[in-house]
Amino acid sequence: MMIFDWNYALGLLGNADFWAATWTVIQLSMACWLIGIVLGFGLALCKQAESRLLSGAARLYIWFFRSLPLLVLLIFVYNLPQVWPASSRVLSNPFYAGLIALVMSECAYIAEIHRGGLLAVPRGQHEAARALGIGFGGTQRLVVIPQALRIALPTLANEYVTIVKLTSLVSVISLTEILMVGQRLYTQNFLVLETMAAVAFYYVLIITLFDRGLGLLERSLDVQARGRKRGNLSLDEIECELAGSAPSAGAVAAFKGDAPALEARGLYKAFGDVEVLHDIDLRVMSGEVISIIGPSGSGKTTLIRSLNGLERIDEGRIELHGEPFIEARRRVNAPSNFTEHGERILDIGMVFQGFNLFPHLSVLDNLQLAPRYHRRSTSGQRRHEAFVLLDKVGMAEHAMKFPHQLSGGQQQRVAIARALMMRPKVMLFDEPTSALDPEKVSEVLAVIETLAGEGITMLIVTHEMGFAFDVSDRILFMEQGRIVCDAPPAELRERVEPRVERFLRNVAFH
201, 316: one domain: no
330 lies in some domain? yes
> What CATH number corresponds to the domain at position 144?
1.10.3720.10
374 lies in some domain? no
Instruction: In whole angstroms, give the CA distance from residue 145 to residue 127.
Output: 15
User: Tens digit of pLDDT per residue, the chain (510 long)?
Assistant: 568 889 999 999 999 999 999 999 999 999 999 999 999 999 999 999 889 999 999 999 999 999 999 999 999 999 999 999 999 999 999 999 999 999 999 999 999 999 999 999 999 999 999 999 999 999 999 999 999 999 999 999 999 999 999 999 999 998 999 999 999 999 998 889 999 999 999 999 999 999 999 888 888 877 776 666 677 888 888 888 888 654 444 445 444 556 789 999 999 999 888 899 999 999 999 999 999 999 888 899 999 999 999 999 999 999 999 899 999 998 777 777 889 988 889 999 999 999 999 999 999 999 999 999 999 888 999 999 999 999 999 999 999 999 999 999 999 999 999 999 999 999 999 999 887 887 788 888 989 999 988 889 999 999 888 888 889 999 999 999 999 989 998 888 776 677 787 888 777 555
* CA distances, 456 to each of 42, 109, 428 (Å): 42, 51, 11
173, 281: one domain: no
66, 146: one domain: yes
Instruction: In whole angstroms, give the CA distance from residue 444 to residue 410.
Output: 8
Residues 6+ apart with CB under 8 A from 397: 232, 233, 234, 235, 238
pLDDT reported for residue 365: 96
193, 274: one domain: no
Kindly report, residue by residue over 212-226, the tens digit of the pLDDT.
Answer: 998 888 888 777 766
393 lies in some domain? no
89 lies in some domain? yes
46, 140: one domain: yes
Q: What are phi and psi of 190, to 5 degrees?
A: 60, 20
51, 128: one domain: yes
The total number of structural domains that make up the chain: 2
66, 145: one domain: yes
Instruction: In whole angstroms, give the CA distance from residue 241 to residue 506.
Output: 48
According to DSSP, the residues that pair with 291 across neighbouring strands are: 460, 475
The helix, strand and coil proportions of the chain, stated in percent and rounded to the nearest 5, come to 60, 15, 25
Q: Which domain holds residue 273?
A: 262-289+307-343
14, 149: one domain: yes
47, 196: one domain: yes
CA 188 to chain centroid, in Å, comes to: 57
381 lies in some domain? no
Instruction: In whole angstroms, give the CA distance from residue 104 to residue 108.
Output: 7
- Specify whether the CB–CB gap between 339 and 328 falls below 8 A: yes
Burial (CB < 10 A; 0-12, 13-18, 19+), residue 334, is: exposed
- Dihedral angle over CA of 11, 17, 18, 22, nearest 10: 150
186 lies in some domain? yes
357 lies in some domain? no
Q: What is the largest CA-CA distance in the chain?
A: 105
